[in-house]
Structure 1
Amino acid sequence: MKRKPSAPQSIKTLDKDLGRIGTLELATQTVSRPLIAPGIALAFMVLVGIGASVFTGGQPMGLVVVAASVFGAYMALNIGANDVANNMGPAVGARALTLGGALIIAAVCETAGALLAGGDVVGTVSRGIIAPESVAEPQIFIWAMMAALISAALWINLATIIGAPVSTTHSVVGGVMGAGIASAGFAAVNWPVMGAIAASWVISPIMGGVIAAAFLAFINARIIYVPDKIAAARVWVPVLIGVMAGTFTVYMGIKGITRIYKPGLGLSMLAGIVAAVLIWWIMRPVIRHQSEGLENRNKSLKTLFSIPLVFSAALLSFAHGANDVANAVGPLAAIVHAVGEGGASDAAVEIPIWVMLIGAVGLSVGLILFGPKLIRMVGSEITKLNAMRAWCVALAAAITVIIASWLGLPVSSTHIAIGGIFGVGFFREWYAENVLRKERNNGTLPPEERIRRKLVRRSHFLTIIAAWVITVPAAALLSAGVFRLLNLITL
């Protein structure tokens, strides 16, 4: 029996070397992949700094504006990573949108909202939170705004890392308050305003949760738990879509298009009623056609809510870009104004287009790079959402903002959206337990059975509530520390 000739030693060595190189390449890819997103974010901030230096070249304190622009870009990235998940998370969790589709729609709508309808004027951020006269000296005011910007961005970044959707508005408010206290003492803070903001921690999520649960209860009673679901859907789904259209018309009128036109609450309400009736009339034959051939089960109903849910998520993103871009660029605009005018001002501060562009692009870049983590958490890890439940959350968010604007309450869109998700989840728990009790002739459920049937993840609930409670004080403490550090550096 002949022995097989062995491969030359040089070929064996080559194979081993190629194997080592392949392993090294795989290890390099594995290590470097998590660094891609931070690298792109850093490149964006560098580009913003270069661009800001072009606009401020030769100006006194131009380097201060450049630094503020970089921190404004960092803030915008963090808002995109954290805040936008509230609008797109329910649609992704309900599988009405893929994650990639949600990122594209949100990026386009956020940018469009910021550039087309973003606030063209913003009151100096210190106005209303701290007394302007207490930070009248230009350097104190500029460092206070810089400290607020840095601390809010750091806090939102930390919240994103631990998976807690927090209010960017409250983060900025806390930053301004902390810098104001560090610069002028506790007497400089407008405590009634801060009390109203603290009250919104409780009011906005409860209001959003109750409204979302009420809509889900209505859908359960009128559509889901009836003998002929499809016939009921043909009657009620056009009505609900009409309500959604009317609500978002009002919402856009009072929150989303104020830069283009300010119709006021009365005209917005009238336009909302007209839109609701018109869309209801249009959707009746559409829903009738869509429902033909569908089986009489809940899965069939989800298809009827998917497209309205996508539109609601897109509109929420547009309105978010129009309103919350001020959180990213408000302190930056105040710094630019202070450098140009020589200090704080009681007058409204116009946001230059290049400053607005930083906020708009930063929101989208932050969303694409870092948003998927929180989108998944909001959409599927708090409680299970389908198209109908997610639709209730989106509609509740819009209605709550309208009611809050009418009552003059300072509410957070983040708190409202998350409150709506919790409201839907807790309502489902209550409803399931109530049905089970009736089946057992009002018998009490064993504790083990009650725990097993929980539909809301308590760990996420506690983490989010804790993050909400400490957002303002944490941002304030960070801001006070940053303000002191800036003062020491510039002495």
Structure 2
Amino acid sequence: MTDPNTNADHRETLDRDLHRFSHLETATQYVGRPMVGIGISLLFIVIAGVGAGLLFGQTPINMVVVAAAVFGAYMALNIGANDVANNMGPAVGANALTMGGAIAIAAIFESAGALIAGGDVVSTISKGIIAPETMENAQIFIWAMMAALISAALWVNLATWVGAPVSTTHSVVGGVMGAGIAAAGFAAVNWPTMGKIAASWVISPVLGGAIAAFFLAIIKWRVIYREDKIAAAKRWVPILVGIMAGAFAAYLALKGLKRIMKIDIQTALTIGLVLGIAAWLVTIPLIAKQAKGLENRNKSLKVLFGMPLVLSAALLSFAHGANDVANAVGPLAAIVHATEFGSFSAKVAIPVWVMVIGAFGISFGLFLFGPKLIRMVGSQITKLNPMRAYCVALSAAITVIVASWLGLPVSSTHIAVGGVFGVGFFREWDTSRRMKKNNHARPPELRVAPEERRRRKLVRRSHFMTIIAAWVITVPAAALLSGVIFLILNAIVG
């Protein structure tokens, strides 16, 4: 007869073993996830290189294009991992989108923006920063672009690894500038163009923050602080959706339809106005239906702002794809052109396969490595809800659209993170103002001291200083790295 105590011991041992296996399985999944991401990334990079090889054959000069395609794919992956997080972070931080939903929306709209409207800014990256006539020959120009591509990709990869939302635009522009200086001296750099680009780096976060604060002020004073919040939201949410739809329509008319017909700015604005009004009218009954039965409190407003936030996040992804794909494929397009024609003075035509590498690379990078920085931007700088996140996304979208239309390679990182800071600092100011106002109505013993009001910060100053420091160091670091890489490449090949 079997001893019951022995069976109990066996069961206890089995439970312990199963528990160990459970821990082992969890640990294996944890270790396996990044390995799977790296494996898929390497496969994408190899496919990009093989595709370029099939297109250009196996001659030595065309192997340069293969190498450039490999590094262009690597750079696109890093843009997806770092830059796109700034677009989707607010929506995820406000719990309006799940991580999976945000990644799916971003992947679709980033790719659409890159493929439909991503051509204009590429020429600014590849040709506007350094003067081609200062280069001795096409080979020197090719190595300069290659060095810029490699240095920018390495720097963004490092920043993503340490969790810093740096600007990929800064990285590429710094890389192009550093390689140009190493190749032909300081005279190679188009300093007036660099001055405009540098000015846009300062303007873009300030403008993004100001627009985000402006929209938040409208929402607070026209909706949140009203006695009947739901009625105010039913009136203002459709207006905000109309503004967003109008901006998107005008942008698409300018950028997306240019391959079919030429549309001037006046016509585009007219299209935007008409479709914006149409969106406003269509949204009125939808919001009214959604508002039925909601309680008159701030928590109910989050429901009404959910749809506008998702739409604005999609708009921002499209604009980002159109604007920042240049960071991945600009130097690659310049290399392809110089290799094919032996010239780097004519206008660069962007091959479709180059744009495809940029678009798909950004999507893969976001899917595989983006969640880390999405969480950082969405929840660790300041607390976001759907209203605040909508203001950030809409301000960033409008700023990026204007910049892309003007052909300026502004940093979407600066714009989006600037919008988060703008919302946070506005909340600090507004909270302090309201607290000070309420103090006058309270007995002296219940008033909040001025020191305590100043101590209550709604933006993490440590993150603010860290991000500003990362922004400052990116251009010189990428330029120095690019210069060194150029000298190494030139020495090896030359």
Report the TM-score when normalising by structure 1: 0.91
Distance 1:221 1:11, change over 3 A: closer
Q: In the TM superposition, what whole-angstrom CA distance separates every residue of 1:271-306 from its partner, at most 9, and x where no partner exists?
A: 111122212222222222221111000111111111
Counterpart in 1 of 2:287?
287
Q: Once the 2 structures are TM-superposed, how far is the Cα of residue 225 of structure 1 from its aligned partner?
A: 0.5
1:450 aligns with 2:454: yes
Of 83-92 and 69-78, deviating more is 83-92
Q: Once the 2 structures are TM-superposed, how far is the Cα of residue 18 of structure 1 from its aligned partner?
A: 9.0
Of 146-155 and 157-166, deviating more is 157-166
Q: Secondary structure at the match of 1:226?
A: coil
Distance 1:188 1:427, change over 3 A: same
For the 8 Å contact 1:124–1:347, the answer to whether it is kept is no
Q: Which amino acid aligns with 2:394?
A: L
Q: Once the 2 structures are TM-superposed, how far is the Cα of residue 361 of structure 1 from its aligned partner?
A: 1.0
Distance 1:91 1:256, change over 3 A: farther
Q: Which amino acid aligns with 2:61?
A: M
Q: Distance in 1 between matches of 2:404 and 2:319?
A: 14
Q: Secondary structure at the match of 2:166?
A: coil
Q: Once the 2 structures are TM-superposed, how far is the Cα of residue 130 of structure 1 from its aligned partner?
A: 1.3
Q: Distance in 2 between matches of 1:83 and 1:450?
A: 33
Counterpart in 1 of 2:91?
91
Residue 469 of structure 1, aligned match among 472, 479, 492: 472
Distance 1:16 1:121, change over 3 A: closer
Counterpart in 1 of 2:211?
211
For the 8 Å contact 1:382–1:460, the answer to whether it is kept is yes
Counterpart in 1 of 2:444?
none
Residue 485 of structure 1, aligned match among 475, 478, 488: 488
Q: In the TM superposition, what whole-angstrom CA distance separates every residue of 1:154-184 from its partner, at most 9, and x where no partner exists?
A: 1111221222222222221111100000011
Of 249-258 and 440-449, deviating more is 440-449
Counterpart in 2 of 1:425?
424
Distance 1:131 1:409, change over 3 A: closer
Counterpart in 1 of 2:379?
380
Counterpart in 2 of 1:190?
190
Q: Which amino acid aligns with 1:372?
A: P
Report the TM-score when normalising by structure 2: 0.91
1:304 aligns with 2:304: yes
Counterpart in 2 of 1:106?
106
Q: In the TM superposition, what whole-angstrom CA distance separates every residue of 1:310-363 from its partner, at most 9, and x where no partner exists?
A: 11111221222223222211111111111111132x222112222221111111
Distance 1:223 1:122, change over 3 A: closer
Q: Once the 2 structures are TM-superposed, how far is the Cα of residue 24 of structure 1 from its aligned partner?
A: 6.3
Q: Once the 2 structures are TM-superposed, how far is the Cα of residue 58 of structure 1 from its aligned partner?
A: 3.3
Q: Which amino acid aligns with 1:217?
A: A
For the 8 Å contact 2:174–2:476, the answer to whether it is kept is yes
Q: Which amino acid aligns with 1:488?
A: A
Of 48-57 and 209-218, deviating more is 48-57
Q: Once the 2 structures are TM-superposed, how far is the Cα of residue 101 of structure 1 from its aligned partner?
A: 0.6
Q: Distance in 1 between matches of 2:29 and 2:293?
A: 50
Distance 1:66 1:16, change over 3 A: same
Q: Distance in 2 between matches of 1:300 and 1:366?
A: 35
Q: Secondary structure at the match of 1:294?
A: coil
Q: Distance in 2 between matches of 1:35 and 1:391?
A: 35
Q: Once the 2 structures are TM-superposed, how far is the Cα of residue 128 of structure 1 from its aligned partner?
A: 2.2
Q: Once the 2 structures are TM-superposed, how far is the Cα of residue 21 of structure 1 from its aligned partner?
A: 7.7
Q: Once the 2 structures are TM-superposed, how far is the Cα of residue 196 of structure 1 from its aligned partner?
A: 1.7
Of 155-164 and 223-232, deviating more is 155-164
Of 117-126 and 236-245, deviating more is 117-126
Counterpart in 2 of 1:222?
222
Q: Which amino acid aligns with 1:301?
A: L
Of 232-241 and 69-78, deviating more is 232-241
Counterpart in 1 of 2:330?
330
Q: Which segments of 5 or more consecutive residues in structure 2 lack a partner in the other structure?
A: 442-446
Counterpart in 2 of 1:244?
244
Q: Once the 2 structures are TM-superposed, how far is the Cα of residue 413 of structure 1 from its aligned partner?
A: 2.3
Q: Which segments of 5 or more consecutive residues in structure 1 lack a partner in the other structure?
A: none
Residues 124-163 of structure 1: matches in 2 within 5 Å?
125-163=125-163
Distance 1:403 1:116, change over 3 A: closer
Q: Once the 2 structures are TM-superposed, how far is the Cα of residue 13 of structure 1 from its aligned partner?
A: 11
Count of residue correspondences: 487
Q: Once the 2 structures are TM-superposed, how far is the Cα of residue 237 of structure 1 from its aligned partner?
A: 1.7
Q: Once the 2 structures are TM-superposed, how far is the Cα of residue 230 of structure 1 from its aligned partner?
A: 1.2
Q: Secondary structure at the match of 2:348?
A: strand
Q: Once the 2 structures are TM-superposed, how far is the Cα of residue 148 of structure 1 from its aligned partner?
A: 0.5
Q: Distance in 1 between matches of 2:24 and 2:383?
A: 41
Q: Distance in 2 between matches of 1:402 and 1:33?
A: 35
Q: Secondary structure at the match of 2:127?
A: coil
Q: In the TM superposition, what whole-angstrom CA distance separates every residue of 1:389-410 from its partner, at most 9, and x where no partner exists?
A: 1111122123334555687865
Q: Distance in 2 between matches of 1:276 and 1:340?
A: 44
Q: Secondary structure at the match of 2:370?
A: helix
For the 8 Å contact 1:109–1:317, the answer to whether it is kept is yes
Q: In the TM superposition, what whole-angstrom CA distance separates every residue of 1:458-490 from its partner, at most 9, and x where no partner exists?
A: 121111111111222111111001101111221
Q: Secondary structure at the match of 2:241?
A: helix
Counterpart in 2 of 1:81?
81
Of 399-408 and 238-247, deviating more is 399-408
